[in-house]
A and B are shown apart, each in its own frame.
Chain A
């Protein structure tokens, strides 16, 4: 009576569906709790930040990636290693600003929105805003202040999902005096 299961192939996918569905339940709850979309966006970003500052440790431990030489390398690591590891996708890195301090991550498909359709009354909701918070939080832990935001979103009718990242500054470590 053992059930035919194709679990081996499925388990990765199911794990990502667990995450997607849980995230959906969270956003639903937030929409219930807050009156307007801006508040929800802000809350998602905040929660993402909290996740990011902890996820970076897991990431560094697992990936054995060392210090990045410049922002371009950071961008590559985010796209090819981090996104691949945690979301199973590899966004492309494009639209570099001439100064090299700003780029876009293009997500062809975004696993977070697999089962999602935005209702009409939530037109300003940035559904996946958690990701921005995660990126911001994680990079802050490696001394980089960045500005992250969604500029295109398939949920709102765009062809692709685009996250824009802008390097702001290096965070100097402020060690308390006499603590070195």
Chain B
């Protein structure tokens, strides 16, 4: 499948469905976001299992994050993360200046309020991917000016 159009269209159908379905009759935004996130989680988990099948063992947490930023991101979003920052205490901020799934929305601030639903699935993807490498985390995302966005990963120490 040389092409990314099917995935993008499927992704927007997914959002459309979750927000339209009578089962989500609660127009409760938070619950819809949770549903999307949960779907992403499953996908991220499965994808990471396949992706790391033949790779070497990871050295540490930072190594894992680098893998997410490079290989995982390239595989899913066709580019690498533009900037990775950490406070070395379990918080990582991944910045993507041109996030693929926000590409279909007009740039700038006009539709900023709709950004969260376009990011929820991806948050789940990252959390699922980390989880399958044995790293528990909380992932949130925010977009200040589209199509740029930031993912914040908080590692959960057990």
Report the Cα distance A34→B24, complex, angstroms: 12
| CB pair A12 B71 closer than 8 Å | no
Whether B85 is near chain A, meaning CB under 8 Å from some CB there, is no
- In the complex, the chain A residue whose C-beta lies closest to that of B77 is A18
| CB pair A12 B2 closer than 8 Å | yes
* Segment touching A, from B48-56, B89-97, B106-114, B140-148: B48-56
Chain B nearest CB: distance from A74 CB in Å? 20
Whether B75 is near chain A, meaning CB under 8 Å from some CB there, is yes
Interface size on B, residues (CB 8 A): 36
Report the Cα distance A62→B11, complex, angstroms: 21
**8 Å CB contact of A18 from B7, B35, B42, B63:** B7
Report the Cα distance A12→B23, complex, angstroms: 35
**8 Å CB contact of B43 from A16, A22, A50, A85:** A22
- In the complex, the chain B residue whose C-beta lies closest to that of A48 is B13
| CB pair B1 A86 closer than 8 Å | yes
| CB pair A51 B6 closer than 8 Å | yes
Which of A15, A18, A30, A50 neighbours the largest number of chain B CB atoms within 10 Å of its CB?
A18
Q: Can you report 16 residue pairs joining A to B where beta carbons are below 8 Å apart?
A: A5-B71, A14-B76, A18-B47, A19-B6, A19-B7, A22-B10, A22-B14, A25-B42, A26-B13, A26-B14, A30-B17, A34-B23, A50-B13, A86-B1, A87-B1, A88-B1
| Residues of chain A whose beta carbon lies under 8 Å from any beta carbon of chain B | 1, 3-7, 10-12, 14-19, 21-26, 28-30, 33-34, 43, 47, 50-51, 54-55, 58, 62, 85-88, 111, 115
